[in-house]
Amino acid sequence: MTINKSLLFILVTGCCLLLGVSLPHQAFAQDPEFTQFYSNPLYLNPAFAGTANCPRIVMNYRNQWPGISSGPTFVTTSASFDQHVQKLHGGLGLLILNDKAGEATWTMGNYSGMYSFQMNLTRSFSLKAGFQATYVQRSIDQSKIIFGDQIDPRYGFIYPSGETIQNPSVSHFDFSSGVLIYSQKVYIGLAAHHLTQPTEKFISSGSTLPMKLTFHAGSIFYTEQPTKGNSGSYFSPNLLIQKQLSFTQINLGMYYAHGPLVGGVWLRYSPPAGGAQVKSMDAIFLLGIETGIFRIGYSYDFPMGGTGFKNSKGSHEVSFAIQLPCKPKKKKFRQIKCPSF
């Protein structure tokens, strides 16, 4: 099989798998998401570990729908470090993620370690495969939950609740994997998170954490070739498809970079899922700056209807990264060229 046929096979298989896969219908929520998915590469796909060659530190903050509550409702933060290690013939990565929902009623902490190895397929294309192990902690603050037996039809919330959560804090291990195929202008990736689909039991029955599948692809078209001291200019169309149980999300957009400035416009669409007739659509606007070893970006998700959160004030996201210098790697190491946001 030639490399062109391999790329076509991965592209078609990935799209079909994500759009047509059949999974059990028992999910109650989806994983936290980041609009700037390339600015959080280890969370997107463990195969990105070590792709920047030198040590890389990345931090991300997301505040989703701040207008629907007096306090922060859905806040997700993450921090990661990764580096290529020549003696291991691959990259190592560490990722810490914290997610809070319902004014910290529900919290989650993920602590991940990952390894990816690189193999050059041809003179132009390389492959990276990554593996990830995660320790997950989830907890519920029962004092912030209102149950039905606390409500009086006339006077409101006046009764103590007889309900109890048997396991207000649960923990388990989780495993993920991913693959990247890329050249200087094209990149295609497929990641599978929650391979073992662990069970989380806050109560006796519990629920299964469904597998999340991610397909992402893009290309870079230079209008001005980069030179020493000048990063050049380029357009970069990109596609992201994610599927977790019956929930599907499609992101389609374009980056444009000129010198240190990067801009992006995206459309994110989620069709009705789980028998519900509610769909979601957002317009996304992004602005970033890359200068020296630093990178910072801001994006805003503007709801375009169907979500039911007309007064949500959209979603805000900030990313920050430090790309530390290091000694040049051997020629067989190939750094992936894709947008940083």
pLDDT one-digit tens code per residue, 247-259:
899 999 999 999 8
Q: Is the pLDDT of residue 28 over 60?
A: no
Share of the chain above pLDDT 70, in %: 78
Question: What local confidence, expressed as pLDDT, does residue 173 receive?
Answer: 95
H or E segment and range at residue 237: strand 233-244
pLDDT at 340: 84
Residue 338 has pLDDT above 50, yes or no: yes
pLDDT band with cut points at 50, 70 and 90 for residue 207:
confident
116: phi then psi, degrees, rounded to nearest 5: -135, 145
The residue written with tokens 């669409």 in the block is 269
The model's pTM is 0.84
Q: Quick one: pLDDT at residue 204?
A: 59
Q: What is the mean pLDDT of residues 256-277?
A: 84
How far CA 81 is from CA of 41, 50, 222, 257, 337, in Å, comes to 10, 9, 29, 25, 19
* C-alpha span between 44 and 109 (Å, rounded): 17
Which is more confident, 92 or 327?
A: 92
Residue pLDDT, tens place only, 153-181: 777 776 676 666 767 788 999 999 999 99
Q: Which residue, among 267, 255, 256, 202, has the nearest Cα to 233 in the 3D structure?
A: 256
pLDDT of residue 5: 39
Q: Looking at residues 307-327, what average pLDDT do you find? A: 81
Q: Would you state the pLDDT for residue 70?
A: 59
- The chain-wide mean pLDDT, for the chain, equals 83
Locate the domains of the chain by residue range: 3-323
For 3-323, CATH gives 2.40.160.40
pLDDT at 29 over 90: no
Least confident range from 100-109, 190-199, 259-268, 270-279: namely 270-279
